[in-house]
Amino acid sequence: MLTPSSREFHVVILGGVAMRDLYMKTGQGFLLVFSITSPSSLSEIDSLREEIIRIKDDDTTPMVVIGNKADLEDQRAVSRSKAFSLAQNWNAPYYESSARTRTNVDEVFIDLCRQMIRREEHVSVFEDDDKVPAAQPAVRWNRRRRREGGHRCVIL
């Protein structure tokens, strides 16, 4: 569980395909992780992204593209420019990380959580415009928070 900005985010890491559609449908944000040593893993996140967009019917879902295994630079098979260009085309931030050295591990989660918070605040303004006067944004946030009961972050 992540708690940036005093908000809780439940993180689900998928290892299999069984519940994938359900998690994609209910997920509010996604980390798309590939290995910089494997071009096929970059193709896989392209397919995952398309599936997320199809299932959610929303191409503005918060996502972060991550090239993992940055500590294996000598074995790199996916160029930084290719991955960055792909992320730019998707309008998503790109990070290179290393689970081994913990490089950028926290940063990718923080970036995704910030995107999710911005999106939720933006959506809540439009949903509640006629229910709460504009001078009371804190009331609007608290009402929405109680109604939804939390956040969900899915990592594929």
Spell out the domain ranges in the chain: 4-155
pLDDT, position 150: 56
User: Which pTM was predicted?
Assistant: 0.71
pLDDT, position 111: 94
pLDDT, position 37: 96
The dihedral through the CA atoms of 37, 113, 2, 20 has a sign that is negative
Per-residue pLDDT of the chain (156 residues; tens, 9 = 90+): 555 556 666 665 555 555 777 788 888 899 999 999 999 999 999 999 999 999 889 889 999 999 999 999 999 999 999 999 999 999 999 999 999 999 999 999 999 999 999 888 876 666 555 554 444 444 444 444 434 555 555 554
pLDDT, position 50: 93
151 touches 5 (CB < 8 A):
no
pLDDT, position 39: 95
Q: What is the DSSP string of 56-103?
A: HT-TT--EEEEEE-GGGGGG--S-HHHHHHHHHHTT--EEE-BTTTTB
- CATH for 4-155 is 3.40.50.300
Q: How many residues does the chain have?
A: 156
